[in-house]
Amino acid sequence: MNNAIIVDGVVKKFKTYESYSGAAGALFGRKKKIKTALDGVSFKVKRGEILAMLGRNGSGKSTLIKMLAGVLRADGGAMTVLGLDPFKDRIRLAQQIGVVFGSTHPQLFWDLPPIDTFNYIKGMYGISESAFERKLERFIDMLSLKDVYKRQTRQLSLGERMKCEFVCSNLHSPKLVLMDEPTVGVDLPSRMAIGDAVIELRKEQKTTFVITTHVVDDIANVDRIVMLDHGKLVFDGSQEEMRSMFKKSVMVELYFSDKRRIGRYAKYGKVVVSRDDYVKLEMGPEEIKRRWFTQMLNDDAVVDYRINEPSLGFMLNQMYKKIDRDGVKDGAENG
Amino acid sequence: MMLQSIRKNLKMFAVSQRYTWLSFLIYRGQALSWAVVWMFSTAASFVSISVIYGVSPGIAGWSYYQMLALAALSNMAIGIVSYLIRPWDLIMLMRNGVFDQFLTKPYDPIALILSRSGTRASIGGVISSLAMLAYALANQGGISMPAFMTAVLLFALGTAALTMFIVTISILSYVLFKSGNYIQWLINIAGTTSNYPLQIYSIAGTVLLTVGLPVGLAAFYPAELMFAKISYPFTLGMAALSIALIMTFYRASTYLLRFYTGGGG
Amino acid sequence: MADVGAYAAAFKVNFKNMLAYKTDIALDLTFTILSSLIFVFVWAAVYYFSGAGTLDGFSLNGIIAYFIVLAGISEVTGWPKIINNMEEDMKEGGIARFLIRPMNYTTQLLLESLPVDIVFFTFGSLPIIVGVVAFGHLSVTPSALALFAALMVIAYLMINIIGFIIGSMAVYLTSVWGVANAVTWLFSLAGGGVVPLFFLPDNIARLLMLTPFAFMYYIPDTTLLGIMPASAALQSVMIGTLWVIAFAIMASLLWRKVKRDINSVGG
């Protein structure tokens, strides 16, 4: 079987309550509402693939991660994770997967040093002493945890804790690791260390990773991106495919010695940023071949310039804007 | 100046009642179950005392109805204290830094604590105790109006002293241990012990429950006054003691707030 | 699948974790005992002022022994420790950290609360009961001791299964703390935790003896003290076992439904 995950038309609904306002309202109680968290989502993840799951708050990412882990039951559609039904075969599946729930539901025992939690996981998953020693040493080295893993968890920084959470989820060499916003609020070095460890583990053990995130840097090395919005899949494809949706534009940054000249060139593109002697323009790629562009480059008032493709963060923001403009349609835009 | 400040803080207290009640009533099932829990403590007193008086002539010369009245006053005092302050909630507010907001408001922080950190559910205990008190007094009879009115005043002062004591040890516990589970236990034990006449706990127990954990001031002495078991000069002494404790604990708690370290960091 | 090593690892880490809260636990333990001992003062006063040697056929020593043993029993049966983290698990999604493990949630919960119960039993119940048996000038028979042990196991199982049922309802209720407190209060009031049932009218006491309430306090207490005859205690063991089975069936049916309805929060 080549697919680690098959999600087919999955639906999840939640009951929510809306309160009436005022004192009398409080006495009369609440109005029940059904919220559709996931609305017919379908996608596949190949074994050994690194998939990023993106979407705004409340888009359904965490719900989907919990469903993939067997924590929540689907109200419709079908789901297979490592060949198992995650909800029905939860215990069998749990033996083969690792899950990181960000800082919201930590696995580490707050009042004990991480090494105690690691030992607990060793017993829980039946890891042999020699394999445990070997893996632990490897992770300590990989994530620079030498001075960390024997200190009380409550005394560790968020970055240190998240690196240890990552170890907790990988000690038993799972075939699949689900990571729900593992880097929120985490400092840059820790984030990069976790990112490198993901790449390393995929290379060494063919581990499949599904990562939900809002941090643009986290998706730099992923193989594929799926994007959820309002419980629907709105994009499924590679970074390149996402770029191609916006490749109509390039970003041109210009620095002027005489800011009065800005107006002369600003009209050729859409001003994204403008301050004093600097302007950032978004324009079609054909614009840079035109005569005005060559003239501008020879203009003494233009002291420096840069031409870039839009950044990943910019593209994502454009993507959200597009969704808001066009509304959410059924199925993915791509793939 | 001082009167103006009291009026301002009382107004704030009244306004915040509306919102604390609103948020309590939003989950009616939960509100009801907690109110029932509070009523159980009144029921427990009623059952215990009824059984004791069913098999014996009673304790220390107190009649059945006098004892019910004493238990009612005790439970009512605990209900009122809990309406104003729940130690664990206050300590949590301080631990997670929400208390920062209290210190940014133009009101006395102690008044803010009393308006926000208690439980509305204890009203169940207050109402059931009031019912038990009314039942006991109606059956007991022979209580003079001046004695009753003075007892109400003494009860109010005693309950205020007990409240300020709980506020002070809650803040002190935060300062010293950042924890305070045991204070709720103290309140529970104070509630049960003060259901009965203090003399059964010996002289040491009586002094402790009058000055140390001043629950006696709220329940025992007002009940004694109502049933003409103590003189008016003694009553005056107890009132003066209550006022002294209120002022001391208020000063102490205000002082201890200096050691609040704020949230986060 | 979880094996003995997994259970041992979970128990060990939970035990270590509990030790971080040793001051809180020591205070809880002490105050639970103190709460029951207040009644020793009260009943001593009742006997003192009545001037009688016995009331309703019971001596002061008998009543004092009843409340001291009660202090020991309530360490185990006063509160279902299994419920302590359940609401947070159900409401704030904390259950997810258990469900990602290759072990039942219920087993993991038990392994989490068992260390606390062991400490409460070892440092609360055991010294009190050993003290009463050794120095209480009571004639505790080996059969009474054996029946008491069986009844304590029944009470432990019953209170924790009931705790599990209430905790599971967190999925449907805003908060289960009110319900849990109301139920434990009711158990104490109707089960001999506030007044011994032998002081109640006969028909009421007999009826209460059949309910789960009396199993938490009165039945084990009076069995140890020999107030309840061995034959009646044996009958209680059987009735108690039936209650445990009934509650276990209820819990498992409810859990089957709850598992499907968990609304673990998150975006």
Residues B7-23 have pLDDT tens digits of 888 888 988 888 888 87
Name chain B contacts of C35, Cβ cutoff 8 Å. 185, 188-189, 192
Signed CA dihedral, C15, C21, C26, C31: sign only: negative
- CB spacing of B47 vs C35 below 8 angstroms: no
CA–CA gap between residue A121 and residue C102 (Å, rounded): 10
CA-based nearest distance A92→chain C, Å: 7
Higher confidence at residue B164 or residue A214?
Answer: B164
Q: Please state, as a whole number, how many other Cβ atoms lie within 10 Å of the Cβ of residue A57.
A: 9
- CB spacing of C188 vs B55 below 8 angstroms: no
Higher confidence at residue A214 or residue C154?
Answer: C154
CA–CA gap between residue A63 and residue B137 (Å, rounded): 59
Return the closest-CA partner of residue B198 out of B12, B101, B38, B74: B74
Give the residue from chain A lying closest to B265, CA to CA.
A157
Would you say residue C10 lies in a domain? Answer: yes
Name chain B contacts of C34, Cβ cutoff 8 Å. 185, 189
CA-based nearest distance C247→chain B, Å: 22
Partnered with residue A256 across adjacent β-strands are: A302
Name chain A contacts of C8, Cβ cutoff 8 Å. 123
Q: How many domains does chain C have?
A: 1
CA–CA gap between residue C84 and residue C81 (Å, rounded): 6
Contact assessment for residue C50 and residue C42, using Cβ atoms and an 8 Å cutoff? no
Asked if B28 is an interface residue toward chain A (Cβ–Cβ < 8 A), one would say yes
pLDDT grade for B177, boundaries at 50, 70 and 90: confident
Which of A58, A73, A120 is nearest residue C13 as measured by Cβ atoms? A120
Which of the residues C19, C100, C105 would you substitute to probe the A interface, choosing the one with the greatest number of A C-beta atoms within 10 Å? C100
Give the residue from chain A lying closest to C11, CA to CA.
A120
What is the pTM (predicted TM-score) of this model? 0.82
- Residue A23: the pLDDT is 54
- Residue A328: the pLDDT is 66
Name chain B contacts of A22, Cβ cutoff 8 Å. 22
C-alpha torsion angle, residues B241, B242, B244, B246 (rounded to 10): 160
Name chain B contacts of C182, Cβ cutoff 8 Å. 33, 36-37, 40
**Average pLDDT value for residue range A9-24:** 74
- Residue C267: the pLDDT is 37
CA–CA gap between residue A253 and residue A305 (Å, rounded): 5
Give the residue from chain A lying closest to B24, CA to CA.
A26
Q: Is C225 helix (H, G, I), strand (E, B) or coil?
A: coil
Helices (H), chain A: 22-28, 61-68, 90-94, 114-124, 129-142, 158-170, 188-205, 239-245, 262-266, 291-298, 312-326
Name chain A contacts of B15, Cβ cutoff 8 Å. none
CA-based nearest distance A247→chain C, Å: 30
Give the residue from chain B lying closest to C183, CA to CA.
B37
**CA atoms within 13 Å, Cβ hemisphere of A92:** 10
- Residue A297: the pLDDT is 83
Which of C34, C42, C177 is nearest residue B189 as measured by Cβ atoms? C34
Give the residue from chain C lying closest to B121, CA to CA.
C178
- Residue A21: the pLDDT is 59
Asked if B21 is an interface residue toward chain A (Cβ–Cβ < 8 A), one would say yes
Return the closest-CA partner of residue A81 out of A214, A196, A176: A176
- Residue B265: the pLDDT is 39
User: Residue B56 region, left (φ>0) first, then alpha (ψ -120 to 50), else beta?
Assistant: beta
Would you say residue C111 lies in a domain? Answer: yes
Would you say residue C202 lies in a domain? Answer: yes
CA–CA gap between residue C139 and residue A128 (Å, rounded): 53
- Residue A25: the pLDDT is 59
Average pLDDT, chain B: 91
Would you say residue C267 lies in a domain? Answer: no
Contact assessment for residue C71 and residue C155, using Cβ atoms and an 8 Å cutoff? no
Give the residue from chain C lying closest to B182, CA to CA.
C27
Q: Count interface pairs A-C at CB distance under 8 A.
A: 106
**Average pLDDT value for residue range A277-294:** 86
Low-confidence spans in chain C with pLDDT less than 50: 265-267
Q: Please say if the pLDDT value at position B211 is more than 60.
A: yes
Give the residue from chain A lying closest to B23, CA to CA.
A26
pLDDT grade for A276, boundaries at 50, 70 and 90: confident
Asked if B29 is an interface residue toward chain A (Cβ–Cβ < 8 A), one would say no
Which of B31, B55, B59 is nearest residue C45 as measured by Cβ atoms? B59
Return the closest-CA partner of residue C186 out of C216, C147, C149: C216
Q: Please say if the pLDDT value at position A151 is more than 60.
A: yes
Q: Are strands A3-19 and A30-46 parallel, antiparallel or unpaired?
A: antiparallel
Range of the domain at C133: 4-261
- Residue A34: the pLDDT is 85
- Residue A293: the pLDDT is 86
Higher confidence at residue B34 or residue B66?
Answer: B66
- Residue A282: the pLDDT is 86
Summarised one tens digit per residue, pLDDT across range A118-143 is 999 999 899 999 999 999 999 999 99
CA-based nearest distance C102→chain B, Å: 34
Q: Are strands A224-229 and A232-237 parallel, antiparallel or unpaired?
A: antiparallel
- Residue A193: the pLDDT is 93
Which of the residues B28, B32, B95, B120 would you substitute to probe the A interface, choosing the one with the greatest number of A C-beta atoms within 10 Å? B28
Instruction: Give partners of C (≥3 CB pairs < 8 A).
Output: A, B
User: Which two structure tokens, joined as six digits, stand for A295?
Assistant: 């003239």
Instruction: Write the ipTM.
Output: 0.88
Asked if C31 is an interface residue toward chain B (Cβ–Cβ < 8 A), one would say yes
Asked if B98 is an interface residue toward chain A (Cβ–Cβ < 8 A), one would say no
- CB spacing of A27 vs B18 below 8 angstroms: no
AA letter at B150? T
- CB spacing of B21 vs A23 below 8 angstroms: yes
Place of tokens 């809880």: C28
Q: Please say if the pLDDT value at position B161 is more than 50.
A: yes
Would you say residue C59 lies in a domain? Answer: yes
- Residue B82: the pLDDT is 95
A309 DSSP 8-state letter = P
- Residue C2: the pLDDT is 62
Spell out the domains of chain A, with CATH numbers in brackets. Answer: 3-232 (3.40.50.300), 248-308 (3.30.70)
Would you say residue C266 lies in a domain? Answer: no
- Residue A333: the pLDDT is 43
Q: Count interface pairs A-B at CB distance under 8 A.
A: 14
Contact assessment for residue C140 and residue C157, using Cβ atoms and an 8 Å cutoff? no
Give residues with Cβ within 8 angstroms of A79, minimum separation 6: A5, A6, A7, A8, A10, A67, A68, A85, A86, A87
Would you say residue C42 lies in a domain? Answer: yes
Place of tokens 């279902």: C80
AA letter at C256? R
The secondary element (H helix, E strand) that includes residue C129 is: helix C126-135
pLDDT grade for A334, boundaries at 50, 70 and 90: very low
Which of the residues C25, C37, C49 would you substitute to probe the B interface, choosing the one with the greatest number of B C-beta atoms within 10 Å? C49
**CA atoms within 13 Å, Cβ hemisphere of B199:** 10
- Residue C154: the pLDDT is 97
- Residue A29: the pLDDT is 59
Return the closest-CA partner of residue A96 out of C100, B86, C236, B118: C100
Return the closest-CA partner of residue B121 out of B159, B74, B78: B78
The secondary element (H helix, E strand) that includes residue C65 is: helix C60-77
Summarised one tens digit per residue, pLDDT across range B239-256 is 999 999 999 999 999 999
Asked if C204 is an interface residue toward chain B (Cβ–Cβ < 8 A), one would say no
User: Which two structure tokens, joined as six digits, stand for A260?
Assistant: 């009065």
Name chain A contacts of B21, Cβ cutoff 8 Å. 23, 26
- CB spacing of C179 vs B33 below 8 angstroms: yes
